[in-house]
Structure 1
């Protein structure tokens, strides 16, 4: 798990290695200074040897200078390594998410992915920075200080050893308890982010239904959950400081008391006692630092698992070893196709689909809500893979195509129309980044979008707000259709994408398709029979099966569902979910 993340250190390996090296150098210099100070007191101050004081004092200044340089260099390289590591992690996660199929994306909430890319990566960055610096410095300082203390006086150094063992055990109990709370806290950020995202994206609905108080209360509860867990964790950690202070002062008292007796008996010098007191602080503070690093790493373990989960996720859809990069034509064939969103489902979403569509045909697809119309067309551009059977485009199984090559020839206008912040031209060029302004205008004429774009003061340079909030639903649909047409695809799929368009405009769009792009295969999902009745053939879907397939006239004669809905709609506004006589 940790190894998966460490692969993203990449170009920051040198900085990651340099940081602990400089930390160890800083510790060595710091440990030398108390030893030199003892020499000044015992061999300089006590006997009045000013030359010895100058000499050793110079070495102390040099050691302090090296320690200062090493500390600054360690901090600089540590910051560079941790920030770079976090940058690479975010890029790796984001790039990996782009390879996900719809089935992979369905496993995660949007808020969960955002939390992983932000909060979780920040936690890992902080833990990595602490590990490079403090987790190197603290053990090195502890080991060096203990070694120096034992080299001065074994009896007094034993006091430190006992204190370290007792304090270490108590700190471990505190840390293990606090860690459990932190591991509970970070997944709660998903709920918090989900609340914010849902509220902001649906703010118009919230205000329309005057639900501000309820949304505020929902956010307050999510925030309160995080607050309570962190309070419990921090209340556990507060014992660190008093426990550390108690241990430090106890050690100082014991060392001073025992050391004073030893000085009187001439078995210890004053300088050695001062050095031991300094090492006492180094030893215990090192233990304190190690405990805080342990907390930080423990806090980040939940984040590490969540990031590794995304990086280890493998896409269900992969290019074959030798992908076909050219789609011959827009013909489509389904052979004994079954499909389920989840493996092992008791009942497939699509069952025993057998269908053949010729290149250039216009095919209408109608059916009630939940009849799997969208699921059917999603298999054509291989947004999902079939559970059984095969789908052929241009006479070739879609699994044999390169994904990019296939999707460049199959334009899909999804049910949920999405526009991005930027000008109208920017949005249109999502379909073809090389498209000229004239080509964009031609696509908009076909989609009946040019007529309203020309009315904007800035025309095609009008800025679209995030999510297309400054254009109507019908305008958004027509822009998305124009964007799909710019790809000049062999297959065009419109998934109920004229539902917000008036009947007259819908008719204009269908006529433009018939006259201007006759060689493109068109699959049009609709609820209104008027939107598809002039199609070459019409598919009637019912509970994941094809209930009827033929022309408008043939279905009126042979298909009961189609006939009932047609009569219902022509009599006064029924839709496909309202069958006659019900």
Structure 2
């Protein structure tokens, strides 16, 4: 929690103002019982109405100053807390954007969402309470004790019994609550994870009649969170009754022993009344502190989780001295590249070496799990390789800035991802400055114009979240249009033609060949018909290259490729 205090630096002057206002408020509140005791002992006992009016006016003035200070401090506290929350959300989001895919897998999407929303809200709520109480509560407690002792030191011995009881109660409850608050956040992560999977996978769930299974999963996650929350609240519920019991017993003791001292003439009635008010101020300040202790365990657990996000250093980051690409434009070279996923026993790909240059189409084909998509994901540096090097225009990708590297690449991912907005806006995601004409041309090359113009609002038609209102083939064509509008030096197409019919596939490849004549094109494909015309075909098998060449050449020299061809084409088509 303390580590997050450094993020309050932009609000230094506001924090100082809050502290000063709370100081004035505490001083005025502490002064009021003394004024009241004067009214009782001097004004009422002696019947001095003028004194009562004068001191009463002072009390009203100081009460108004106290209220004004509290209102202003509350406003500034809320502003500081919400400002910190805004900044923390921005920092968490920026840090998460810099994560490699490995860090995403480690943290989990559901957990990252919870940390960005619920955990930061916990910090905000605690900060509001702390800003309003962290100065006034201790000052009211310490100042109240000092003022009470000044009124009657003997009667103040009541606090020697009361304060340790309250402090011990808070400590015991705090120690029991902290582990449970941490468990609550983990349970909330699990609930978000199950809910997210249930919502995004609703089609599959319904198709396989697994509604009852998913309901059971959700009920279990919900019950775990509920049970933990109930246990925490039961523990916390014990705090307030104990505090109220101690406060009431303290009041009885003060009136009892104070009455005896007044009867003996050792204390005046006004001083006893002031002493009782100071005692109440001390008790209420301790209750305020206990409220902070209620919030601190959960906020502490949240702060730890936020710090985990902020302190996690991304594995993939720019080199201290980045290099600029050479004169070649779009030249890709793999040199003895080996890569393993974290925790894997064997490399996903091993000893991969090949080159792909501008004006060439390099196709990658192979069986499921052969390493095709893994190989493609290494080019934009989504992962860092274990051995070897990947060169773009003669420079190792690890020595280039990530921004300059990815600006050269137009990626068409295996799973098309879209954002809520119009079709034009989603295509323009590839290049924000693209004109309407460029957007339309990209869609035309991607064979998407026909279905776009058939929609109600054409290019202004809204795509639902995740692209749920367009088909798989339409998604793939829009994804290709998004890459085309970017006009990159390197096109990386990861099995993005699989949902197209053969006629559309052939038309699209012909249009792409013409449009990307000066660029480097790497295509991952399952269909032989997609790769037959490529300038270079790389055949992957069990993470290694089984063969490189053109279609006819590989038919004669590569058994793996021939098996794939035979499984897909007839003898007449092969001939």
Same fold judged by TM-score > 0.5?
yes
The superposition leaves residues 212-242 of structure 1 with CA deviations (integer Å, 9 ceiling, x where unpaired) of: 3322222121111111111111111222222
Other structure's SS at 1:418 match: coil
**Paired residue for 2:78?**
79
Task: Give the 5 Å matches for 1:145-184.
Answer: 145-184=144-183
Deviates more, 1:292-301 or 1:327-336: 327-336
Aligned length in residues: 570
Deviates more, 1:62-71 or 1:162-171: 162-171
1:323 aligns with 2:326: no
Asked whether the 8 Å contact 1:409–1:487 carries over to 2, the reply is no
Residue 414 of structure 1 deviates from its aligned partner by 0.7
CA–CA separation in structure 1 for the residues paired with 2:457 and 2:288: 60
Other structure's SS at 1:169 match: helix
TM-score (norm 2): 0.96
Residue 179 of structure 1 deviates from its aligned partner by 2.5
**Paired residue for 2:51?**
52
CA–CA separation in structure 1 for the residues paired with 2:321 and 2:181: 48
CA–CA separation in structure 2 for the residues paired with 1:405 and 1:118: 32
Deviates more, 1:448-457 or 1:29-38: 448-457
CA–CA separation in structure 1 for the residues paired with 2:359 and 2:257: 98
Deviates more, 1:493-502 or 1:167-176: 167-176
Task: Give the 5 Å matches for 1:95-110.
Answer: 95-110=94-109
**Paired residue for 1:286?**
285
Task: Give the 5 Å matches for 1:540-559.
Answer: 540-559=539-558
Task: Give the 5 Å matches for 1:293-372.
Answer: 293-326=292-325, 328-342=328-342, 345-372=344-371
- Summarize the Cα distance change of 1:487–1:325 in structure 2 as closer, same or farther, 3 Å threshold: farther
**Paired residue for 1:393?**
392
Residue 293 of structure 1 deviates from its aligned partner by 0.3
CA–CA separation in structure 2 for the residues paired with 1:72 and 1:457: 54
CA–CA separation in structure 2 for the residues paired with 1:63 and 1:468: 62
1:129 aligns with 2:131: no
Q: What do you get for the CA RMSD once the two structures are aligned?
A: 1.6
Residue 27 of structure 1 deviates from its aligned partner by 1.5
Other structure's SS at 1:355 match: strand
**Paired residue for 1:576?**
none
Residue 380 of structure 1 deviates from its aligned partner by 1.5
Task: Give the 5 Å matches for 1:448-487.
Answer: 448-487=447-486
Residue 322 of structure 1 deviates from its aligned partner by 4.2
1:197 aligns with 2:191: no
**Paired residue for 2:424?**
425
**Paired residue for 1:114?**
113
Asked whether the 8 Å contact 2:362–2:538 carries over to 1, the reply is yes
Residue 308 of structure 1 deviates from its aligned partner by 0.7
Residue 317 of structure 1 deviates from its aligned partner by 2.2
Asked whether the 8 Å contact 1:175–1:291 carries over to 2, the reply is no
CA–CA separation in structure 2 for the residues paired with 1:397 and 1:502: 38
CA–CA separation in structure 1 for the residues paired with 2:436 and 2:396: 36
CA–CA separation in structure 2 for the residues paired with 1:167 and 1:321: 55
CA–CA separation in structure 2 for the residues paired with 1:156 and 1:167: 19
Residue 357 of structure 1 deviates from its aligned partner by 2.1
CA–CA separation in structure 1 for the residues paired with 2:388 and 2:431: 33
CA–CA separation in structure 2 for the residues paired with 1:463 and 1:382: 32
Other structure's SS at 1:539 match: strand
**Runs of 5+ unmatched residues, structure 2:** none
Asked whether the 8 Å contact 1:145–1:283 carries over to 2, the reply is yes
Other structure's SS at 1:404 match: helix
**Paired residue for 1:577?**
none
**Paired residue for 1:21?**
20
CA–CA separation in structure 2 for the residues paired with 1:253 and 1:402: 73
CA–CA separation in structure 1 for the residues paired with 2:96 and 2:178: 30
Other structure's SS at 2:439 match: helix
Asked whether the 8 Å contact 1:139–1:286 carries over to 2, the reply is yes
Asked whether the 8 Å contact 2:191–2:218 carries over to 1, the reply is yes
CA–CA separation in structure 1 for the residues paired with 2:70 and 2:263: 39
- Summarize the Cα distance change of 1:196–1:345 in structure 2 as closer, same or farther, 3 Å threshold: closer
CA–CA separation in structure 2 for the residues paired with 1:255 and 1:2: 39
Residue 98 of structure 1 deviates from its aligned partner by 1.6
Task: Give the 5 Å matches for 1:183-222.
Answer: 183-222=182-221
**Paired residue for 2:434?**
435
The superposition leaves residues 453-473 of structure 1 with CA deviations (integer Å, 9 ceiling, x where unpaired) of: 122232211111111111110
Asked whether the 8 Å contact 1:8–1:92 carries over to 2, the reply is no
CA–CA separation in structure 1 for the residues paired with 2:501 and 2:564: 20
**Paired residue for 2:231?**
232
Other structure's SS at 1:411 match: strand
Asked whether the 8 Å contact 1:418–1:468 carries over to 2, the reply is yes
CA–CA separation in structure 2 for the residues paired with 1:518 and 1:366: 21
**Paired residue for 1:536?**
535
Asked whether the 8 Å contact 2:323–2:395 carries over to 1, the reply is no
Asked whether the 8 Å contact 1:179–1:295 carries over to 2, the reply is no
The superposition leaves residues 178-199 of structure 1 with CA deviations (integer Å, 9 ceiling, x where unpaired) of: 2222221112111111111111
Residue 488 of structure 1 deviates from its aligned partner by 0.8
Task: Give the 5 Å matches for 1:34-45.
Answer: 34-45=33-44
CA–CA separation in structure 1 for the residues paired with 2:455 and 2:224: 48
Residue 250 of structure 1 deviates from its aligned partner by 1.5
CA–CA separation in structure 2 for the residues paired with 1:318 and 1:171: 45
Other structure's SS at 1:389 match: strand
CA–CA separation in structure 2 for the residues paired with 1:7 and 1:166: 34
CA–CA separation in structure 1 for the residues paired with 2:19 and 2:205: 52
